[in-house]
Amino acid sequence: MNAMKKMRQRGKSGRLILTAVIVLFLLTQTTAVFAQKLSGVGTSSAAFLKIGVGARALGMGEAMATQATDVTALFWNPAGLASLQRMQILLNHYDYLADMQFEFAGFAIPVQNVGTFGFFFSYLGMPDIERTTVTMPDGTGEMVSAYSFAAGISYARALTDRFSIGGTAKMIRETIWHSHAGGLAADIGIQYRTFFKNLRIGMSISNFGSDLHMDGRDMLVQHDIDVTSNGNNGNINAQLSTDEFPLPILFRVGISANLAKDFLGLEGHDLIVAVDAIHPNDNKEYLNVGAEYIFRQMVALRAGYRQLMLEDSEGGLTLGMGLRVKMLNTEVIFDYASIDFGVLDKQNKFSLILSL
């Protein structure tokens, strides 16, 4: 009887996985169609949506399709939220490139027999700069601001003890001076723990949504509709029409294994190796690879490599470490990562997770 029950469970899991894979495959093909409209690298909008969160993920080379099983799954793969047993809060601050600041705050709470709900807010901003014009190259005295933000809600559920699925709906907005662009997008993902040595498989598609185009007061201009005529009104009100650009859609498929626990049978040690294949709509395909060693769920050492096999890549080696401390009924997880950005040198990243 137990054998028949296990066979039925595996059959059910297989059908669920097949359905989810078909959905993700169809979304990926739609992504490929949208990608044909692009003229090259860097032509998508809202590029801040590609900035990774969580120093653990960054230290492992962003190979997180299968390993995002905490609150950082809000960004990497919403299906991973189903693994949460306790409420978690993520606080993430980066001094990003070119004096920009990146903030990410996330919150996830599991509800028994219902699933896990999550909420997040991300923000990329820069210091105000003085506006210049052709006639006033030294500045007009007016300050110009620019920023981008996204906010979203996620839901994930474990359909079996090995298979989970999740999704995210988000609002996106970019602003520069008096102009802005906004839209809606969605993420969807699955994670599956196989019966062979608990090998993990994960897939996700991120930022699938509407194209963005700039609009606002800055689009109003004065125009002479006939410069060859004299005496006509040279200050006719006109509205600039800006092009639309797609969001940076990312399709991830990954595999990972815990070599120490599931292959070598070592207790108190974890040695995780993960590989993700990334298919973006505004670049060529590449690999992210990462490894993590954890001693007694307290101290972690990490290494990885971003954008492997990508031509003209600015990715590179990543290193990191983590510390998990229990205080009363709260777990505090502190992570650090060092990331190589090629010609833009290295960046140090920190993140804090509270598990309540």
pLDDT band at 248 (very low <50, low <70, confident <90, very high): very high
Q: Does 88 have pLDDT greater than 90?
A: yes
| For residue 311, pLDDT beyond 60 | yes
CB 347 within 8 A of CB 338: yes
Q: What is the pLDDT of residue 153?
A: 98
Query: Residue 37's pLDDT is what?
Result: 44
Residue 220 within any structural domain of the chain: no
> For the chain, what percent of residues have pLDDT higher than 90?
56
Number of domains observed in the structure of the chain: 1
pLDDT band at residue 82 under the 50/70/90 scheme = very high
Q: Indicate if the pLDDT at residue 114 is higher than 70.
A: yes
Residues 107-122, mean pLDDT to the nearest whole number: 96
**Do the domain assignments include residue 219?**
no
CB proximity list for 44: less than 8 A, separation 6 or greater: 38, 245, 246, 247, 248, 249, 281, 282
Question: Is residue 124 a contact partner of residue 147, using CB atoms and an 8 Å limit?
Answer: yes
Residue 225 above 80 pLDDT? no
Residue 14 confidence (pLDDT) above 70: no
Q: Does residue 38 surpass a pLDDT of 60?
A: no
Instruction: Select the more confidently predicted residue: 128 or 109.
Output: 109
Q: Does the residue 28 lie in any domain?
A: yes
Nearest to 185 by CA among 202, 164, 205, 157: 205
- Average pLDDT of the chain, as a whole number: 86
Residue 139 has pLDDT above 50, yes or no: yes
Q: Apex CA 333: angle with CA 328 and CA 334, to 5°?
A: 130
Q: What is the DSSP string of 272-312?
A: EEEEEEEEESSS--EEEEEEEEEETTTEEEEEEEEEET-TT
Name the pLDDT band for 11 (thresholds 50, 70, 90). Answer: low
The CATH number given to whatever domain includes residue 269 is 2.40.160.40
User: pLDDT category, 12, cuts 50, 70, 90?
Assistant: low
Residue at 81 is within a domain: yes
Q: Beta strands of 163-285 (E only): which ranges?
A: 163-176, 179-193, 200-209, 215-216, 220-223, 236-239, 250-258, 269-280
pLDDT at 23 over 90: no
Q: Look at residue 223 and tell me if it is in a domain.
A: no
| pLDDT for position 17 | 56
Domain that holds residue 20: 2-211+246-355
Identify whether 234 is part of a domain: no
From the list 28, 15, 24, 7, the residue with the least C-alpha distance to 202 is: 24
Average pLDDT over residues 183-194: 96
Q: Is 151 inside a domain boundary?
A: yes
Q: Does the structure show a pLDDT above 50 at 350?
A: yes
Does 233 map to a domain? no
Residue 21 — very low, low, confident or very high, per pLDDT cuts 50/70/90? low
pLDDT in tens, 163-182: 999 999 999 999 998 888 99
